[in-house]
Structure 1
Amino acid sequence: MKYKTSGVCSRSIDFDVVDNKVTNVHFEGGCSGNTQGVAALIEGMDIDEAIKRMSGIKCGFRPTSCPDQLANALTQYKEQA
């Protein structure tokens, strides 16, 4: 799935979900080290656990963050499935 982000430096997030596990996460733009770290940490994680861990994280004074946007994307994926 490709998700267009909002309110963060990254422009979009691509990911797959296989057997309820998050895989192949790739952020377009954003802070490269941070987004690669987030992607590596949730690789193979249960989608519900990933949403629980990342939802609500803020970036500085912004009301959202790249991890929060990924949680939003995963939530949207679940709602469409």
Structure 2
Amino acid sequence: MKVEFKTKGTCSSLIEIQTEQGIIEEVRFQGGCNGNLKGICSLVKGMPVAEVIQRLEGIRCGARPTSCPDQLAQALKETL
């Protein structure tokens, strides 16, 4: 399943996610901190969707109420 998620409150503007049977196959961010987001994409590849949500949901970026990892968790919730 492929999902495109427009982020809210972050430097990135869009997250593209490919999952298969509850496992993350690929994640790509548009915008944001390039190196950090490439690292996150690499780390979550092959992980179960539910585990990534559990680990990333609620992470904040400075004083912002959300972050790119939190937005990834929100996007993954849409795949469940």
Smaller-chain TM-score bracket: over 0.9
Q: TM-score of the superposition, structure 1-length normalised?
A: 0.93
The residue aligned with 1:76 is: 78
- In the alignment, what sits opposite 1:61? 63
Deviations 1:4-49 (A, max 9, x none): 0000000000011112101210000000011101100000100000
Q: What is the one-letter code of the residue matched to 2:39?
A: G
TM-score normalized with structure 2 length: 0.95
After TM superposition, list the pairs within 5 Å mapping 1:1-81 onto structure 2: 1-78=3-80
Worse overlay, 18-27 or 3-12: 18-27
CA distance in 2, matches of 1:25, 1:62: 23
Q: Which has the higher helix share?
A: 1
Gaps of 5+ in 2: none
* CA displacement, residues 45-74 of structure 1 (integer Å, 9 cap, x when unaligned): 000000000000000110000000000000
Runs of 4+ with >6 A deviation: none
